[in-house]
């Protein structure tokens, strides 16, 4: 996100704040779901392809509050973002998995098993 931080819609920042609050029990699942839907709505009305990918990535991440399978979305969109900016998907994937393992062993296992199937 450092590459586009100056262009990030404030509602996306708010969604990220809600996701963080939800992760520590300070926001409801309903509030997170609304923020996720907002992210996807913003993506639909955005023309910049990189921002569309980012907004969808954030939307999926925030939607994890309502269903763990949504945690696969940031992996998918993160890979597309890395390709779009000329970075390696492998480096990003390694960072994501390392960070996920720190945050949630259960989600880490879900993601890794899903990756093994594809």
Task: Name the region of 109 (left: φ>0; alpha: ψ -120 to 50; beta: rest).
Answer: alpha
Query: Number of folded domains in the chain?
Result: 1
Total length of the chain: 118
Sign of CA dihedral 100, 101, 104, 109: positive
Q: What residues have CB less than 8 Å from 36, skipping those under 6 apart? A: 15, 59, 60, 62, 63, 65, 66, 70
Sign of CA dihedral 81, 12, 61, 59: negative
Specify the pTM. Answer: 0.78
**Per-run averaged pLDDT (10 residues), the chain, 118 residues:** 65 94 93 97 95 96 88 86 89 76 71 67
* pLDDT of 116: 63
Q: Please report the DSSP string for 70-98 in residue order.
A: GGHHHHHHHHHHHHHTT--HHHHHHHHHH
SS3 at position 13: helix
* pLDDT of 8: 79
Question: Domain limits at 53?
Answer: 5-117
């Amino acid at each position: 996100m450092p590459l586009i931080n100056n262009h990030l819609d404030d509602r996306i920042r708010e969604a990220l704040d809600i996701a963080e609050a939800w992760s520590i029990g300070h926001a409801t699942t309903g509030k997170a779901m609304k923020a996720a839907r907002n992210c996807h709505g913003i993506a639909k009305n955005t023309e910049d392809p990189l921002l569309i990918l980012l907004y969808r990535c954030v939307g999926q991440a925030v939607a994890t509050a309502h269903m763990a399978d949504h945690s696969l979305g940031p992996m998918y969109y993160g890979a597309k973002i890395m390709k779009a900016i000329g970075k390696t998907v492998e480096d990003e994937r390694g960072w994501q998995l390392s960070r996920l393992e720190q945050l949630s062993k259960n989600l880490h296992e879900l993601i890794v098993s899903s990756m093994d199937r594809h």
